[in-house]
Structure 1
Amino acid sequence: MSSKRPPAQAPDIPGFTYLSPLGTGGFSDVFLYEQHRPHRKVAVKVLLADVSGPEARRRFEDEANLMAQLSTHPYIVTIYQAEITADSRSYLAMEYCSRPGLDTRYRRSPLRVDEALALGIQICSAVETAHRAGIIHRDIKPANVLTTDYNRPALTDFGISGTSDTNVTGLSIPWSAPEAFETSAPPGVHMDVYSLGATIYTVLAGHSPFVRPGGDNAQTALIERITNSPLTGLQRPDVPASLNQVLAAAMAKNPRSRFGSAAELARALQRIQVELGLSVTSFEVLDDSLHEPTHDQESEATRVRSVQSIDDAQRPAASPLISGVPGQRAGRGDAAGRPRAFAPGKATPRFESVRAAQPVPAPEVIGPQDVAPGEPAPNKFPRALILAAVLSVLLVAAVLGLNQLTQDRDDPRLVGPTLGGNEQPADALPGGTVPQVTNFEYSTVGETITFKWQNPEPNNGDFYRWSPVTATSTGAVKQTNSASATLPRSAQETCLQVKLVRDDGRVSEPARFCTSAASEGTS
């Protein structure tokens, strides 16, 4: 929040005690209050827009209701209450985030790459959730990403500013898309995607994308650069070329050239995490399929039956030891009630599941048999021994099976979902595996050596990332559209590592080739 404009007087709100101002913005003032019941500190945002008329009140209530539905998301600020005071001032009582927000954090020091990637995916999941509910944020920027008491990001300021006519003076210019400066441009998903990219860029660079430290950063100069100047890549050695490419795509001048959704941007960021060997951050949105009506009122996987007494003659075959077979949904999300998290790749934590034990048939009960008159009764002693032996074998097998099942649950190597023959791992990257480049050739000219290779499955938009490698280190990564690279000749041997990169961001495993610099040949 900006502190240029002094806040208006805090309203008198029944059930709350005013404590102090927290900040001001273009559309609201934020104050710290103490709620009486339940007893807690809350942030109260008092909107500046006049809601004295019935239409303005209805619009405020509609948008507040939508925001309240979103506030169950783990990365969206929780809304406790939305009311209009006696003097027609609308306010929202919200979760108080006491830790320094993203705006303060990046100004102190730019974030690490792993921090920025994780935070970007988390905020993308919040924005995607809003978009699926029909809400455009309009003002995504670091100042609107707060930090909860549990050190999680929390997006705030959803679209309530939309109750007023939006113009250039109401925009956060440094993070706004070029088309936002056109009065005829309607707000949409593509604008939020741009602002997401600009926010991620900002926390890595330490300043917004088109600010020039020490240069002319007036509003008109910023708008001119945002509209017409190309994006300067992040000049940090720890930022991979793929991240610069993703940010450039998110902030493309043409809205149609950007990612089609916040979810697509998040997937691209997850691929970079995989590329860098980082843990993949969960992308959390509500899975609507979990709310589809079913014919049965209870899920078979979670139903609890009462204990019943069953005659031996009516005893059914033993049921599996575990009824919650992978693939059956037991309810929404995790045990805490959060939406189900999903993310591609093996690095994502998966719900533990164990293959259900196969049913063990109940032993056949051999009852009394009728004996014809005059016939000797059959010898029952051997039959009893056989029956006892069968029961013993089945009992031992059941105990061993249960013991193995318990051991499997404790063995971390065996944790993971059981996939059928036609099932795919959750959120596998679309398009399958990218093949490695092949057929390396090399030639030496003077003090340089040139490598050439072949793309086994060329696609439109393919390019390559290569770097010189040694037994202990990897050199600077360079990018090329041609299947060749030239580098200085080594005194002993020269080694090259090449990755094939698809237009959608998928990357192959590295292909490595080494050769003596004194020779020429083909591999």
Structure 2
Amino acid sequence: MPQLPAPTIAGLTYERRLGAGGYADVYLYQQALPARRVAVKVLRDSDLASGVVQRFRSEANAMALLEHPHIVPVYATGSTTDGRPYLVMMYYPRASLAERVKHERLGVAESLRIGIQLASAVEAAHRAGLLHRDIKPANVLTSQYGTPGLTDFGIAADISEADDDDTGVSVPWSPPEVLYVTAPASARSDVYSLAATVWHLLVGRSPFEQPGRDNSHYALMKRIRDLPVPDTGRPDVPASLERLLKAGMAKDPALRPASAMDFARSLQVIEQELRLPRTEIVVAEEVSSPQGPDAGGDETRMQGPHVLDAQGASGRTPPTEDLRTRRRTPAVRGVNAPEDATVHRVGTSLEHPEVDGEPASSGRRWVMWALLAAVAVVLAGGAWALSGGLRPEARPTATPSISEPPPDPGTSVGPAGVPVIKGVRDGSTVTFRWTYANPLPTDTFYYKLTENGQQRTVAEPWLTLTGQASGEQVCIWVKVHRASGADAARTHTKGCVA
């Protein structure tokens, strides 16, 4: 498709072209009021159905309302003189993560931090009823301070054409149910793409891309559907992170972490395991508070970013599976309303009541005399105790603790599911891999090679057996063991391969 000239937009002065995607071009403009540099994404096709244009603007409005520190802010939306919709966004001057990993491999600590920050952004979007559907390194921009910003929420899914380079989903980071349309996109679909993005940051390529092999969309789709998630191959990546990434990219959506929040908390647990500073999970908190004398008391307002502990009870994730059927628009708090102001109920006096038209000080003077007498009795009793009377028993005074307990991943996910075992034979070598619901990085596994054989332990969700005769069936029995002692089942699950 030929490159179109940058459009003329009122109040904006064109500077240069920043890049292009499958369906839009991105330009750098100088905004007049307020004076700042902005990035403007303009759709290439002006012959769009009205419904598509409306959805483009609705998604832009939803993004603008999110106001998350790791979501690229949208300032405005409109149409060019030739009818092409555009978005005006915050300009991120540094390279996207896709460009950065072409030249360097991110460390484990930085990859964990970015993964938690992106999961926070995705969780905030899910709570607002918005799926991303195209999470990938190229859609993670970097601010001048080095912080990531997620962009392109749900736009490519409906706008791009089937024969374009970007077919509405980015194949290398998309889950099989989206690629093969076997189930609608869901929160767990975004979790898959989050895990694939973290894997990409560690390795420098997408999970199922194979150097020197056929990496067309068709070849990648088959690998995503049929092959187990490969290891990163990095010796500094802990086994717990390898397991979490594999769980996040499980073929069956039910076997993935249930939400972006669960994925973020599991990454926090790995940070703690590696003795790294914990990256905070930031989401917005909704509270009810009266806003003035005429308020009914049930208005909803959005507070600023709310930092969640790794197992904070206030950070429980609401259901996010069917996000397309609901949209919530957070109300905007008044600009003069203090963040933590105390609001008293209307009609409740803070002064002392008057009795029979007289001030309380005169009508209740006898109460004051009674109180003075009681104080005198107490003081006399105290003097008697000090002179040898009964001494109260000394009791230790508890010292309040301000330290936080370490995060317990077992409180943020459900019990471990029953393993689903798949085996692959390569000559005399057989490799079994298994997935299950609600995995934790601290899980280990019991296995047996015969039903009544000796039970052994393995730390990874796979096992390779060598020296197996060709043509003979090979079986394995597996059970998940949780560190807390709560095993998934009393019996082992059987899996076989011919």
- Is TM > 0.5 for Structure 1 vs Structure 2? yes
Q: Secondary structure at the match of 1:285?
A: strand
Q: Secondary structure at the match of 2:230?
A: coil
Tell me if 1:19 matches 2:15. yes
Distance 2:444 2:365 in 1: 71
Letter of the structure 2 residue corresponding to residue 261 of structure 1: S
Letter of the structure 1 residue corresponding to residue 459 of structure 2: Q
Tell me if 1:128 matches 2:123. yes
Distance 2:100 2:154 in 1: 24
Distance 1:427 1:293 in 2: 34
Tell me if 1:137 matches 2:103. no
Q: Secondary structure at the match of 2:102?
A: helix
Letter of the structure 1 residue corresponding to residue 105 of structure 2: P
Question: After the TM superposition, which residues 16-415 of structure 1 pair with which residues of structure 2 at under 5 Å, given as runs?
Answer: 16-50=12-46, 53-70=49-66, 72-164=67-159, 167=162, 169=164, 170=167, 171-183=169-181, 185-288=183-286, 290-291=287-288, 333=303, 337-338=304-305, 340-344=306-310, 415=402
Distance 1:368 1:293 in 2: 37
Whether the 8 Å contact between 2:137 and 2:197 is mirrored in structure 1 is yes
CA offsets per residue over residues 111-142 of structure 1, 9 Å max, x none?
Answer: 11111111101101111111222222121100
Q: Give the alignment partner of residue 479 of structure 1, picking from 445, 459, 465.
A: 459
CA offsets per residue over residues 92-125 of structure 1, 9 Å max, x none?
Answer: 0100000122112211111111111111011011
User: Would the alpha carbon gap of residues 9 and 462 (structure 1) be closer, same or farther in structure 2, given more than 3 Å must change?
Assistant: closer
User: Would the alpha carbon gap of residues 189 and 345 (structure 1) be closer, same or farther in structure 2, given more than 3 Å must change?
Assistant: closer
Whether the 8 Å contact between 2:22 and 2:160 is mirrored in structure 1 is no
Shift of residue 219, structure 1, vs aligned partner: 2.5
Deviates more, 1:26-35 or 1:128-137: 128-137
Distance 1:292 1:426 in 2: 32
* Residue aligning to 1:354: none
Q: CA RMSD in A?
A: 4.5
Whether the 8 Å contact between 1:271 and 1:505 is mirrored in structure 2 is no
User: Would the alpha carbon gap of residues 481 and 430 (structure 1) be closer, same or farther in structure 2, given more than 3 Å must change?
Assistant: closer
Distance 1:51 1:6 in 2: 16
Q: Secondary structure at the match of 1:20?
A: strand
Q: What TM-score, normalized by structure 2, do the two folds share?
A: 0.62
Distance 2:293 2:255 in 1: 45
Shift of residue 216, structure 1, vs aligned partner: 2.4
Letter of the structure 2 residue corresponding to residue 36 of structure 1: A
Q: Secondary structure at the match of 1:108?
A: coil
Letter of the structure 1 residue corresponding to residue 310 of structure 2: P
CA offsets per residue over residues 261-301 of structure 1, 9 Å max, x none?
Answer: 1111111111111211122211112223x246699989xxx
Q: Secondary structure at the match of 1:201?
A: helix
Tell me if 1:463 matches 2:463. no
Letter of the structure 2 residue corresponding to residue 58 of structure 1: Q
Q: Number of aligned pairs?
A: 363
User: Would the alpha carbon gap of residues 506 and 277 (structure 1) be closer, same or farther in structure 2, given more than 3 Å must change?
Assistant: farther
Distance 2:267 2:308 in 1: 14
Larger radius of gyration: 1
Whether the 8 Å contact between 1:202 and 1:208 is mirrored in structure 2 is yes
CA offsets per residue over residues 20-67 of structure 1, 9 Å max, x none?
Answer: 000000121000000000111000000234466543443232222112
Q: Secondary structure at the match of 1:287?
A: strand
Shift of residue 166, structure 1, vs aligned partner: 6.5
User: Would the alpha carbon gap of residues 166 and 231 (structure 1) be closer, same or farther in structure 2, given more than 3 Å must change?
Assistant: farther
| Percent identity of equivalent pairs | 41
User: Would the alpha carbon gap of residues 464 and 90 (structure 1) be closer, same or farther in structure 2, given more than 3 Å must change?
Assistant: same
* Residue aligning to 1:10: 6
Distance 2:271 2:406 in 1: 17
Deviates more, 1:207-216 or 1:55-64: 55-64
User: Would the alpha carbon gap of residues 505 and 161 (structure 1) be closer, same or farther in structure 2, given more than 3 Å must change?
Assistant: farther
Tell me: higher relative CO, structure 1 or 2? Use CA pairs within 8 A at least 6 residues apart.
2
Whether the 8 Å contact between 1:45 and 1:93 is mirrored in structure 2 is yes
User: Would the alpha carbon gap of residues 292 and 235 (structure 1) be closer, same or farther in structure 2, given more than 3 Å must change?
Assistant: farther
Letter of the structure 2 residue corresponding to residue 119 of structure 1: I
Whether the 8 Å contact between 2:191 and 2:260 is mirrored in structure 1 is yes
Whether the 8 Å contact between 1:29 and 1:46 is mirrored in structure 2 is yes
Distance 2:193 2:93 in 1: 24
Deviates more, 1:168-177 or 1:139-148: 168-177
* Residue aligning to 2:431: none
Distance 1:41 1:166 in 2: 31
User: Would the alpha carbon gap of residues 216 and 193 (structure 1) be closer, same or farther in structure 2, given more than 3 Å must change?
Assistant: same
Shift of residue 230, structure 1, vs aligned partner: 1.3
Whether the 8 Å contact between 2:239 and 2:460 is mirrored in structure 1 is no
Shift of residue 332, structure 1, vs aligned partner: 5.8
> Which structure 2 residue ranges, 5 or more long, are not aligned?
296-300, 313-363, 381-398, 413-438, 447-456, 463-478, 486-498
Shift of residue 503, structure 1, vs aligned partner: 5.8
